[in-house]
Structure 1
Amino acid sequence: MGRVTATSNVQRTGSRRLKPPTGSWADDLWQKWTATPQLARRTEWIILGIITLIGALVRFVRLGQPAKLVFDEVYYVLDSWTLVNLGYEAEWPEDGRDIFAAGDVYAYTADPSYVVHPPLGKYLIGWGMQLFGAENPYAWRITVAVFGLLAIPLLYLVAKKLFNSIGLAAIAAGFLALDGHAIVTSRISILDGLVMFFVLLGFLFLLYDRDDQRRQIFAWTKAWREREHAKDPSIPLEATPSRWTLTIKAPKTPPTGPSWGPILWQRPWLIAMALSLASAASVKWSGAYFLAIFCVVTIGIDAATRKEAGITFWLSGAVLKQGWASFLLTIPLSVALYLLTFIGWFRTGAGYYANWVQSEVIDGAFPRAWGGMLEWVPLSFQNFWHYQSEVLKFHSGLGADHPYTSAPIQWPFLLRPTAFSYDYFDRGENGCTAQQCVEAITSLSNPLFYWLGTVAIVFLVMMLFVKPRWEYVAVIIGYAAGYLPWLITGRTAVYHFYVIAWLPFMFLAAALALQTIAGTPKDDRRMRTPAVNIVAGFLVLGIFVSLVFYPVWSGIQIPTWYWHLTHWLPGWR
């Protein structure tokens, strides 16, 4: 939305016709709410506050229900608790799930457990349990709920930064606040919601780095032109976008800009981006996809900026000159952060594979130890390398015959969401007053929001060939960084709830699509008003759908006939 100047109806003054009125009732209302900078600031805070409050209510109310370990909580909650107490993930008795849920939270053994996800997310979950008491189901889920809630204002900041629009930012954040997939992954203690938060935070830092990067390059180029113009007046002070990259023979018209451009070392936002995405990778390895792709994107931004600033060899300057500097600013720190999350594994020497080399001894030597030029590597790092290589093998060929597996090709269409839990009760059981009741938790997105997001991504891809904009590119990159790697993976044990990592980018695309439908405040009122009414109607309908589906996102007991009403597609059962 934007400000408009109210105009009167079409009138005739002699033979002169006034311009038709523009905007809509929503634009008039928005103008009233943002008439001054103080009003605009207050309106923005009120909007963000309401959205965040709604997001908090749907995430925190009844957070301790069900009072049992649900879905993969049996792994992450139990592993998190042993990790923060022992420094490594330990085994539980065979019936450890029931023992833990019954309140005996110290029944774990000292034997290490084989886990395939890095420790950071489990540390966060475990610290929440230490804070509120592991006997309390609320404590199992408090961490993911907090991060799921914080993702809402974070997405607002991302959208505001990217689109410079309070309205679009509010729509994107509102979708995340009311979406079932986001709600479920904020109410059930699994790792994927944490990955989403750190990815979104890294994306925000990428946007900040882009602005900082452009400022530094244009400032450097301006200083170069002023200096060279003083020596040679034929060097223009104004930059002209360069057409040259690497050439074999000299161009007919010699370029007048700097050859390569600067090396930028002062990149605090780039470092922050890398650390945020390294944190995502330290929760689940899938976060590394975003780290790799976003780092490449920063080089692409650098190349485009150099070209715009008139630097002659803009591509080679970005790749060969700035590329290695950016690598040094990001990758070593990312690796260091990843290793730091395993501090308990290294310190205790008791985790899984922590003594793999030493566990086999022949004639007083360790035949598994590295030799030759790598003989100097400490045994702890050799053990760690073996551990990580085994985890890689596990992830690369993981297969499972699970009823809720969903091929990545199905994900854009919401064909098979994951049912985390469902319990049936007959009349009189557990308060059931119908013939039969169910308490279900399914990571099913609000279908209207989700399908709009899928259509909007396709729309943005098409718009790149019609009217390319940086905003389109940024949203598509965020979506592709999360989704495309899964299309080429060899794993068959994959699930739709992985989509949460890039779901915010679908909502960013959806906000842009709604803006395209609504038009602009400068449009003829006769066209703008019905378009705004259509968008408003969609938003109201989407809120109603969230209200209808909320019981199957939060485990509220409902009659089975109600549950069946939420099965719009066969795969939703």
Structure 2
Amino acid sequence: MVSGAATQSPADLEPRGSRLDDWWGRLLSTPARRRLWYWGGPLLVTLLAAVLRMWNLSTPHALVFDETFYVKDAWTLLQHGYESSWPAESDPDFNAGQVNGYLTDPAYVVHPPLGKWLIALGLAAFGATDSFGWRISTAVIGTLAVLVLTLVARKLFASTLLAVIAGFIFAIDGHAIVMSRVAILDNSLMFFTLLGFACVLADRSWHEHRLGERLAEQRQRGRASDWGPVIWARPWLIAAGLAFGLAAGVKWSGFYFLAAFGLYLIVVDALARRRLGLDAWFSAAVLKQGPATFLLFVPVAIVVYLASWTGWFVTDNGYYRHWAEQAGNAWTGFFSWVPSVWQSFFFYQQSIYNFHVGLAAPHPYSANPLGWLAMLRPTSMWYDSPATGTAGCALAPCSQAITSIANPLIWWAAVAAMLYLVYRLVRTRQWQIGLILMGVAAGYLPWLMYTERTVFQFYTIAFEPYLVLALTFVIGLVLGSRTDPRYERTRGVALTAVFLVLASALSVFWYPLWSATTVPFWFWTLHSWLPSWV
């Protein structure tokens, strides 16, 4: 025996990674191939998302669910600059191509105009008589959301493979597909809040890096305090405020994300200062950096929200546009100096708030938020029973449906993963978990205050991207690393492959009910897994 020679244990000699890892390593053995995978993977799942969202998008040629409000509002925005009203029972005429039956009287709308302006882009491009034009903007936004989520996942997990898995899951999920194929507002809300989330993620590393640099400079000069410096150069924070302002310009629930991530930014700054050894880390985060963060984050969101109402301000006939000019309405006392147009605007906002908190109209597909995670009452957006020889029905009874239900395997697995992440956050304090759960909390928890209000399962699209990220995080744990022992890694790869194949098979099974495809009635009934899904 040679003196001092290193000995290897049997564990050191055991092969690492799976055979698939060996093959994949050979496949990506050149820088060009690695670049192709780096960008090609995300673009491939985005292309898949585009196909699933845009195939046969013009079917049905009928206003679906709340399209009756938003498509017609978008059309009158193009004509008047404000949402104007329509005669009663005007949907059949609109469906038939008689799209100019709108009135000049303003319509009372309870959501800001931005989402409807986005729908109007499709109407401007394809005309209001083309149902493809009604929905193309929403479909494009839903497709881009898959790309954004893929890029977010790559930065969050430092893995292109996990990023592509996250994008693939979001691309094939039925809830995300349906919300991209129907011209209502919630898909745009989801997209802008996801952009805001991406900007907060980018700001996290940007801010911590510059905080460390500035503190090192102060210490080198002997000028460091217990509080540390204030960081004003935070472009990603301004971008996040812009994105959340756009979200609020679609629906007020965008402000929930603004508030939630405002608190998150304070907490992240406090923890960063503690890691850097500052004694007054909490006070500095709240009292020193906190005001600066607020000024960089919130005012831009408010300005963007107000800008979304530009049509109401610059035209002369929007709802409540001249409220303050009517006898007895103008403010008196200290605020009497406020211009009448702003008095009218604030009154309108108050009226919208009262409408939302008091909405309790019965609806057959109303879903209590307490049941959202279990997916107890998905929303049926549209249903028809075509006769034999029509709409591809070979032998009645047939069905056509647009049901906003998630792929059951993806949804329930994602919810289970999210619950596991709550437990894991308590145990490990991983920052990625905290950020993911903040996205879920911002989109879900505020609705628990309104369990008596009329709400719908499809509102969950606002936080579905973060459920997908939670699921992807757990998939990453199951997959393990290519440095794991061969058996463990192979098992993880196999389990992940089985899950993705089953999820894909269920999406194929459910896709007809997401896309208004004509199917036999018996096939439609096979999807009623729970009594509440009928």
Shorter-chain TM-score range: over 0.9
Is the CA contact 2:385–2:400 (under 8 Å) kept in the aligned structure 1?
yes
Measured in 1, the distance between the counterparts of 2:281 and 2:49 equals 45
- Which of 120, 123, 133 is equivalent to 2:117? 123
Match runs of 1:131-150 below 5 Å: 131-150=125-144
TM-score, structure 1 normalization:
0.90
2:26 and 2:377 map into 1 onto residues whose CA distance is 45
Residues 368, 451 of structure 2: 8 Å contact kept? no
Q: 2:149 aligns with which of 155, 158, 161?
A: 155
Match of 2:87 in 1: 93
Count of matched residue pairs: 528
- Measure the CA separation in 2 of the matches of 1:316 and 1:205: 25
Does 2:190 align with 1:196? Answer: yes
Q: Provide Cα deviations, 1:71-130, integer angstroms capped at 9, x if missing partner.
A: 000000001110121011101111221222211221100000000000000111112201
Query: Residue 421 of structure 2: which of 434, 438, 460 is its match?
Result: 460
1:15, distance to aligned residue in structure 2 (A): 9.8
Please report how far the alpha carbon of residue 342 of structure 1 lies from its aligned counterpart in structure 2 after TM superposition. 0.9
Q: Distance in 2 between matches of 1:501 and 1:100?
A: 29
Report the Cα distance in structure 1 between the residues aligned to 2:204 and 2:492, rounded to whole angstroms: 34
Rounded to whole Å, the distance in 1 between the matches of 2:392 and 2:266 is 60
Residue 572 of structure 1 corresponds to which residue in structure 2? 533
Q: Alignment partner for residue 372 of structure 1, among 318, 333, 336?
A: 333
Q: Is 1:57 the counterpart of 2:51 in the alignment?
A: yes
1:423-448, Cα deviation, whole Å (9 max, x unpaired): 01343444321331000000111111
Percent identity over the alignment is 44
Paired residue secondary structure (2:428): coil
Asked if 2 retains the 8 angstrom alpha-carbon contact of 1:443 and 1:497, the reply is yes
Quick one: which amino acid aligns to residue 249 of structure 2? S
Task: Give, in whole Å, the separation in 2 of the partners of 1:453 and 1:103.
Answer: 42
CA separation of 1:324/1:15 partners in 2, compared to 1, >3 Å: closer, same or farther? closer
- Matched ranges for 1:374-413 at <5 A: 374-413=335-374
User: Alignment partner for residue 63 of structure 2, among 66, 69, 72?
Assistant: 69
Q: List per-residue Cα deviations over 1:445-478 (Å, max 9, x = no partner).
A: 1111111110000111111122221111110111
Letter in 2 for 1:412: L
Displacement after TM superposition at 1:134 (Å): 1.2
What is the rounded CA distance, in whole Å, between the counterparts of 1:208 and 1:198 in structure 2?
15
CA drift of 1:14 comes to 11
Alpha-carbon distance in 2 for matches of 1:555, 1:94 = 26
**Which runs of 5 or more residues in structure 2 are unaligned?**
1-5
- In structure 2, the CA distance between the partners of 1:14 and 1:130, relative to structure 1 (3 Å rule), is closer
Q: Map of 1:324-343 to 2, 5 A cutoff?
A: 324-343=291-310
Question: In proportion to residue count, which structure has more helix?
Answer: 2
Q: Deviations over 1:202-239 (max 9, x none)?
A: 0110011111110111001111221129xxxxxxxxxx
1:117 aligned partner, one-letter code: H
CA contact (8 A) 2:42 2:163 kept: no
- Aligned-pair distance for 1:328? 1.5
In the alignment, residue 242 of structure 2 is paired with which amino acid? L
- State the distance in 2 between where 1:103 and 1:281 align: 32
Q: CA deviation at 1:29?
A: 2.8
Question: Are 1:48 and 2:36 counterparts?
Answer: no
Paired position in structure 1 for 2:450: 489
1:473 aligns with 2:434: yes
Partner Cα separation in structure 2 for residue 76 and residue 567 of structure 1: 29
24-33 vs 425-434, greater mean Cα deviation: 425-434
Equivalent residue for 1:503? 464
Given candidates 322, 332, 335, the residue that maps to 2:289 is 322
Q: Which residue of 2 aligns with 1:308?
A: 275
Among residues 157, 162, 166, which one is paired with 1:168 in the alignment? 162
* Contact 2:357 2:453 (C-alpha < 8 Å) held by counterparts: no
Q: Is the 8 A contact 1:518 1:531 kept in 2?
A: yes
Deviates more, 1:205-214 or 1:18-27: 18-27
Question: TM-score scaled by structure 2?
Answer: 0.96
Q: Is the 8 A contact 2:42 2:151 kept in 1?
A: no
| Superposed CA offset, 1:268-327 (max 9, x none) | 110100010110011001111001111111111111111111122111101101111121
1:219-234 equivalence runs, <5 A = 219-228=213-222
How far apart, in 2, do the equivalents of 1:200 and 1:431 lie? 38
**CA distance in 2: counterparts of 1:431 and 1:218, whole angstroms:** 65
2:138 partner amino acid = V
TM-aligned CA deviation for residue 180 of structure 1: 0.5
Cα distance, 1:401 vs. partner? 1.1
SS of alignment partner, residue 91 of structure 1 = coil
In the alignment, the residues of structure 2 paired with residue 274 and residue 104 of structure 1 have an alpha-carbon distance, to the nearest angstrom, of 41
Contact 1:397 1:490 in 2 (8 A): no
Give 1:84's match in structure 2, choosing from 58, 67, 78.
78
Match in the other structure for 2:96: 102
How far apart, in 1, do the equivalents of 2:454 and 2:485 lie?
A: 52
- Between 1:109-118 and 1:328-337, the stretch displaced more is 328-337
- Matching residue's letter, 2:257: F
1:351 matches 2:318: yes
Distance 2:390 2:37 in 1: 48
Partner of 1:538: 499
Partner residue, 1:245: none
**538 and 378 in structure 1: CA distance in 2 versus 1, 3 angstrom threshold:** same
Q: 1:137 to 1:16 in 2, by over 3 A?
A: closer
Rounded Cα–Cα distance in structure 1 between residues aligned with 2:314 and 2:215: 50
Quote the Cα distance in structure 2 between the aligned partners of 1:352 and 1:70: 25
Q: Give yes or no for contact 1:397–1:491 (8 Å, CA) kept in 2.
A: no
Question: Equivalents in 1 of 2:38, 2:237: separation in Å?
Answer: 28
1:179, 1:446 within 8 Å by CA — same for their partners in 2? yes
Letter of the structure 2 residue corresponding to residue 37 of structure 1:
P
Q: Contact conserved, 1:396 with 1:491, CA < 8 A, in 2?
A: no
User: 2:245–2:303: 8 Å Cα contact kept in structure 1?
Assistant: no
Q: Does 1:438 align with 2:403?
A: no
CA distance in structure 2 between the aligned counterparts of 1:506 and 1:106, rounded to whole angstroms = 42
Deviation at 1:16, TM superposition (A): 6.6
| 1:422–1:440 CA contact under 8 A, matched in 2 | yes
Specify every segment of 5 or more residues in structure 1 that has no aligned partner in the other structure, as ranges.
1-12, 230-256, 362-366
Shift in alpha-carbon separation, 1:443–1:224, aligned structure 2, 3 A: same
Pick closer, same or farther for the CA change 1:561–1:347 going to 2, 3 Å.
Answer: same
Of stretches 29-38 and 512-521 in structure 1, the one that deviates more from structure 2 is 29-38
Partner of 1:377, secondary structure, is coil
Q: 1:14 to 1:228 in 2, by over 3 A?
A: closer
Q: Give secondary structure in 2 for the equivalent of 1:466.
A: helix
Aligned counterpart, 1:27: 21
CA distance in 2, matches of 1:554, 1:508: 25
Give the AA of the match of 2:526: L
CA distance in 1, matches of 2:297, 2:42: 33
User: Contact (CA 8 Å) 2:61, 2:95: kept in 1 or not?
Assistant: yes
